[in-house]
Structure 1
Amino acid sequence: MPPPWWGHLLAAFDQPGALMVEDLAKELGIDAESVEGELADSPLFHETEDGWVHLRHLAEGAVLTHQVTAREIAENRLDGADDLSLWLRFAVGSGWPLAVGGMLTADVRGGLRGPDGWLSGFSDGDVLGLRLSHGLFEVAPLRPGGATARPGAMARVVEESVGQAMLAVAVYAHFRDTDPGVRPVAPLDGVIADILHNYPGTFDLPHPPLTELLPEGGLVLGDGHAHMRGAPERAADVQGLSEDDVIRLVKVRHALSILSPDSDLTGTLRHIAVSDAVIGHLADDVARRPLPADMLAALLRAAADARQEAAVAFLAARQAGEPTEAATLVEHVLELAPGLASALRDAGFYAACRGDYAKADDLLRRGGVQSDEGLRPALRPLLSAPAGQTSRNQPCPCGSGRKYKACHQAAEAHGLPRRAPLLHLLILEYGSAPANRAAVEAAVAPGPAASATFLAETAVFEYGMAADFLAEYRGLLKADEAALVESWLPEPLRLWEVAEVDQAHGTVLLRALLGAPPAPGASPDGAPAGGGGPVRLRKRGLAHAVRAGDLLLARVLADGDGPRLLVDPPVLRDLPGLPPFTDPVDPPAVAAFLSRAANPQPLEPGLFL
């Protein structure tokens, strides 16, 4: 219900022009806050830098265009959320009159409706113009060869829209930690209204539909909003980035989406190279969607110093098709920029795959990985010499005079059971690589946080990422390591019963109850980890955490000496139904199953008999 003074407020806007809230409040004898609230709630008013304006005056003579589809003609409605978003503001509520009679109204789906048959003169693919003329909406087809907006006007629309979308990114970067509702998008109706206010007459002649025009400037349209190509879709996409780095990252992504190899790339390179964090995020981008080879070459040619060359070389390393090539490129990057954190972490991963454990640990440490994070806990047992061999700080037995750790230690192999945890962790790290990360995160999300590592393991094996790791990195692994990973691939996820617990010796005896369908290559009888019966595990922590009769959901893998659990399994004392052992196993379903286990429903007696 409008306030009693609403009519007087409307009368104040009888003439075109912007009015300040303070002046309106003084004229009406109403407090400014109430006046501003009513203006903001009305779709027909728009706030500009000069004050508030009435859209009826602002948009007089403007025409917006839209390509009609057969579906729209059949439904007697136009999809107005993007091309015609400004006109939707006129159509809400009781609507706005059409020149041919009837009213233009808005429906709940963001569509524009008119009287029956108002679109009957159009065919699929026609472009119509919807113009506000003398306070009425005129609908007419755009004929080939008719007058259209000049290129300068079209360029202005694109430039102003990009500017507003970039402003939305800056606002998002500033408030993202304090306002969870802020989004890096610009409302199209507001963008067009601002252009009409700042550049009167821009839309007097028809432009191409906004959904055709604005993407040429690197904008993405949807649901009545425009955003920069490369704007973050969720907070995790820019986690850890400073406000300035968020803006730099989006500017670079946007530039790379619209520039050609022949463009001036110097400004883009400066934005890339100024921040380690921006380089790292762009490297993740190209790992998912590689840059064209000619663009990568053009960036390298444009590099003005070692830092910029290192940034481009790191992008090349991330999109290299073969790990040996990528490892060589990363070494070159570190020669140019020794402190580049993302490159140090990548180099550490490659060194761990090659078995150069001391170098891997040093690189990861320099790359900011803490001693209890990532690969480093699994590297720690491998930093000392294998049992019975030379200490890492003693002279190397080869007689070189160098310390053993700097000479032949990397060539000495620990036993396979000692290397198995690192090998398994390398596979999990591969699952967190940019190309795989979204799928693994989606698989882990429905489950309890305590089971995140187990669920990540489930995802990398069930989605074939472990097999992909072996295919890509076999050349860096030792032969026995490659064979061990190959033995892991067919092992299915199973439900186990704890049959016996020996805390004194730190062992647990497991009996398989249910299992997912064995993968190709698994033993015909479904025996776990190559065995044919119950599995005895030596895992002291597990022996103190479970009791006989408990149930475990786990993938039991060989370690070169016997069966082993390489991640902590979820312990289930009551089941919320049967585990979702479909063929293939659906990791998100497993995660949801574990979440339901927090509020279990008892099963029928004898279910497993």
Structure 2
Amino acid sequence: MNEPMDANDLIAEAAMELLREHGPQTAADWGTLLADAGHGTADDMAEFVEYVEDPLLGYLSEERYAALDTLFEHRVLTHRLTEAEIKSGVLDANPDLMMLRVFLDRDDDEIHGISVVHRGIDDDLLADRGIEDPEFPHDEGFLLDTDTLAECSAGDLIGLFVADRELTLCTIPEVLDPAPGFGESLGTVLADIGADTLDAIVWQLMLDEPSLFRQPTAPLGEMLEAAGYVRDGDYVAVDGFDFEAYHLANRARMLEVRENLHPEEAASVIAFVDVVMAAKAEAVEDVSDWARKQIKEDPQTFAGIAEPPAAAAALELLSELDDHDSVLHSVATALAEKGSRRVKPAAHWLAGKASDRLGKILVAEASYETAHDLDPDWTPAIFDLALLAADRSDVTRALALLGRIEGGESEVLHEVLQRYAPAEHPELGRNDKCWCGSGRKFKVCHLGKSEVTFDDRANWLYVKAQLFSRTPEYFDAVFDLALIRAEQFNSEEALTLAVEGGLAVDAALFDAGIFAAFVERRGELLPTDERELADQWLSIPRSVYKVASTEPGQLVTLSDVRNGHLVKVTDEWGSVNLEPGTLVCARVLPAGSTMRTFGGIEPLAAEDKRELIQLIESVDTEPGQLVEFLSRGLAGAPFR
């Protein structure tokens, strides 16, 4: 059953209908059409249409939007069959048919026996069709019924015809010549920009040449080759075009806009990233020596990476690569040696981030310290040192470091540290015996250290892991689970609250493996008792419990339904809101002298008990499945 559309969905649907009726429009003109139709002001609607998402919406030259189904209506694209396609019933969509995938990216999973399959995602399905070649299909394919092409032969032409927003497969009885004037028309489209995506080119050609593809032509790939054009991924240009320079310029412009970088900074980011990628792609044996030579040739090429936003942008781009950390460390170290003095703090910081991801946190800390020594105001190094000081429970140093950052008092870390800040003891000198009775000097025992109990520090340990999960490396996993959780609540604040704590965060930490990574990479910084506690937590699963009794405002006693074990949990919400006999799901963790449910307690319907236990016990259960299962049916409820 389709869910009812909200107001924005209705406006977006009206916007698409107006685009179909009036043809391609700029955002301003499109907004005016919506306003004239009674959907708000022209300015508001012009801004609104820039965020409309629809697979059938295309972006043309001169900043115009077009309804693609209108452009493609009653047009046909052709493709020459291969033996592999006939045998498997899978068409390699690239490049001949690729732009027609927009008709299959809608809510319909399949239209008239055609669906999209992706190499790398649907490999099992492709294997079921007898496809062993990892390069077929090259990227995307169109999956047909198994015997659809049984009567065809290799070299035959088939076509996909568009009518009423749907695709129909048809056979083409004769080999046709390329469309007249195709090459010249393509040259006109590319005259000013040099290269563009094949999708955008075809859209523009159909708009400029209303007769194009009304009758079957030779396949698009063959026409491009015959006209002297070449492809690089999704892009098309005349033979001999410098795609590398073109992509570099595009990436630089993207960084300038997305990261608000100056052109010099963006160019330096791209240059640095390219050195890392080249070293990795070419499997360079001595990366450090090779990188030093690359950087020494023109150190100024990398000078723009000196600013914190540029260094952060480089790290973010490289995060998209797999197994790049060792290469990044070597290249960053080379930059620290051979780069300009101005770039050295950034280089040491990048080397530190790589060391951290390689599991060498003390080496990373030394790199941050070096960056800080070279430039005491280099903010990223200061902040990372504050985080590591906090992991050590050195609140005084962490707060002092944050105090050196503009706006440091507004950081979440600052708020956390304030809860555990040490009490002042003006009556004690550094060499006096400590107030706690340990017999040690105050300066080596509690000077500058938090005086909270171990019970409270257990909560701090959980918060340290939460802060670790908020780093760019892991936050996407937290955010995705928070989205699943928030979708069940009728609240504008639900997503923000879900990111801050509760089930989604707990699932990210323990079920998605972030807490294990935290212990592995930060364990040697933690106080000994916290490290031991963290190791305990790693072995404790989520379980299903029945509420045995409550002490309102204090405790709730839970009985594990899988083994009957009783546990008294300090949980104010549960002690007040749960009745004896209620089924709940929770992860119960030791916290000093108490037991806690830092990730919250989730009430459970009796009929869901068996299925939830199966989910918990199955090694194939994804964190998102668990969050969705425990969150379903909460629409309209207050967030918790």
Shorter-chain TM band: 0.5 to 0.7
| Superposition deviation, residue 398 in structure 1 | 4.8
User: 2: CA distance between counterparts of 1:334 and 1:269?
Assistant: 20
Counterpart secondary structure, 1:324:
helix
Counterparts of 1:323 and 1:470 in 2: how far apart (Å)?
A: 11
- TM-score, length basis structure 2: 0.55
1:115 counterpart = 2:172: yes
Structure 1 residue 317: deviation in Å? 0.9
Change (3 A) 1:254 1:303: closer
Is 1:464 the counterpart of 2:464? The answer is no
Cα deviation for residue 318 of structure 1 reads 0.8
Runs of 5+ unmatched residues, structure 1 = 1-45, 52-65, 90-99, 119-129, 138-152, 166-184, 195-201, 233-237, 516-524, 528-532, 601-609
- Tell whether 2:557 aligns with 1:510: yes
SS at match of 2:485: coil
| Alignment match of 1:245 (pick from 241, 244, 261) | 261
**What are the within-5 Å matches in structure 2 for residues 337-486 of structure 1?**
337-367=375-405, 374-385=412-423, 391=425, 395-398=429-432, 409-410=447-448, 415-448=453-486, 449=494, 450-452=497-499, 453-454=501-502, 455-486=504-535
| In 2: Cα distance, 1:310 partner to 1:545 partner | 53
What secondary structure is seen at the aligned counterpart in 1 of 2:585? strand
Alpha-carbon displacement from aligned partner over 1:472-500 (angstroms, at most 9, x marks no partner): 22222222221111111111112344444
Are residues 553 and 230 of structure 1, via their aligned partners in 2, closer, same or farther at CA, if it must alter by over 3 Å? farther
Q: Distance in 2 between matches of 1:373 and 1:571?
A: 30
Establish whether residue 278 from structure 1 lines up as the match of residue 296 from structure 2.
Answer: no
1:337 shift after superposition: 3.3
The residue matched to 1:471 in structure 2 has which SS? helix
Which sections of structure 2, spanning at least 5 residues, go unmatched?
1-58, 65-78, 103-154, 208-223, 279-290, 434-440, 487-493
Deviation of 1:228 (Å): 5.5
CA apart distance, 1:219? 9.9
Equivalence for 1:492: 541
In 1, Cα distance between equivalents of 2:345 and 2:540: 42
Give the letter aligned to residue 506 of structure 2. E
Distance of aligned partners of 1:407 and 1:474 in 2 relative to their CA distance in 1, 3 Å threshold = closer
**Given the two structures, how large is their TM-score scaled by the length of structure 1?**
0.57
Aligned to 2:4: none
Whichever residue aligns with residue 492 of structure 1, its letter is P
Q: Which amino acid aligns with 1:485?
A: A
Q: Which residue of 1 aligns with 2:608?
A: 577
RMSD across aligned positions (CA): 5.5
Partner of 2:137: none
In the TM superposition, residue 421 of structure 1 has moved relative to its aligned partner by 1.6
Cα pair 1:440 1:456 within 8 Å, conserved: yes
Residue 157 of structure 1 deviates from its aligned partner by 10
Q: CA deviation at 1:229?
A: 6.3
Aligned twin of 1:553: 585
Change (3 A) 1:368 1:110: farther
Q: Which sits farther off after the overlay, 318-327 or 444-453?
A: 444-453
Contact 1:252/1:271 (CA < 8 Å) preserved in 2?
yes
Contact 2:80 2:158 in 1 (8 A): no
Question: Which residue is 1:300 aligned to?
Answer: 336
Matches of 1:131 and 1:257 in 2, distance apart? 45
Name the CA distance, whole Å, in 1 between partners of 2:253 and 2:543. 42
- 1:537-561, CA deviations, whole angstroms, 9 ceiling, x for partnerless residues? 2x44654555555554321111222
* CA deviation map 1:123-179 (0-9, x unaligned): xxxxxxx98474589xxxxxxxxxxxxxxx9xx999833xx68xxxxxxxxxxxxxx
Give the corresponding residue for 2:351: 316
Q: Are 2:364 and 1:326 aligned?
A: yes
Indicate conservation of the 8 Å contact 1:249/1:272, yes or no: yes
Other structure's SS at 2:412 match: coil
State the distance in 2 between where 1:265 and 1:131 align.
51
Distance 1:71 1:550, change over 3 A: same
CA distance 1:456–1:87, change in 2 (3 Å): closer
Equivalent position amino acid for 1:187 in 2: A
CA distance in 2, matches of 1:482, 1:75: 55
- 2:39 matched to which residue of 1? none
Distance 2:168 2:92 in 1: 5
After TM superposition, give the deviation of residue 593 of structure 1 in Å: 2.1
The one-letter code sitting in structure 2 at the alignment partner of 1:356 is: D
Tell me, in whole angstroms, the C-alpha distance in 2 between the residues paired with 1:210 and 1:426: 46
1:62 aligned residue: none
Residues 444 and 588, structure 1, Cα contact 8 Å, conserved in 2? no
TM superposition shift of 1:329: 0.8
For the pair shown, the structure with the greater C-alpha radius of gyration is 1
After TM superposition, list the pairs within 5 Å mapping 1:64-213 onto structure 2. 70-72=83-85, 82=95, 115-116=172-173, 118=175, 132=178, 134-135=180-181, 160-161=194-195, 187-189=200-202, 206-211=228-233
Where does residue 6 of structure 1 map in the other structure?
none
- Supply the AA of the counterpart residue of 2:200: P
Shift in Å, 1:209 = 3.6
For these two proteins, the number of residue pairs brought into alignment is 443
**Could you say what secondary structure the match of 1:445 adopts?**
helix
Query: Aligned pair in 2 of structure 1 residues 304, 587: CA closer, same or farther (>3 Å)?
Result: same
Distance 1:369 1:545, change over 3 A: farther
Name the structure where helix makes up a greater proportion of residues. Answer: 2
Deviations 1:272-325 (A, max 9, x none): 334x3333343344456436255334533553233x211222111111120111
How far apart in 2 are the matches of 1:393 and 1:371? 28
In 2, are the aligned partners of 1:553 and 1:571 still within 8 Å (CA)? yes
Q: Distance in 2 between matches of 1:594 and 1:253?
A: 43
The 1:478–1:101 alpha-carbon spacing in structure 2 relative to 1, beyond 3 Å, is closer
Conserved 8 A contact 1:459-1:587: yes
Letter of the 2:261 partner, please give it: D
- 1:576 and 1:596 in contact (8 A); partners too: no
CA offsets 1:77-134 (integer angstroms, 9 cap, x no match): 9756647879999xxxxxxxxxx9999765689999872475xxxxxxxxxxx98474
Q: What is the CA–CA distance in structure 2 between the aligned matches of 1:311 and 1:444, rounded to whole Å?
A: 33
Pick one of 269, 283, 293 that aligns with 2:302.
Answer: 269
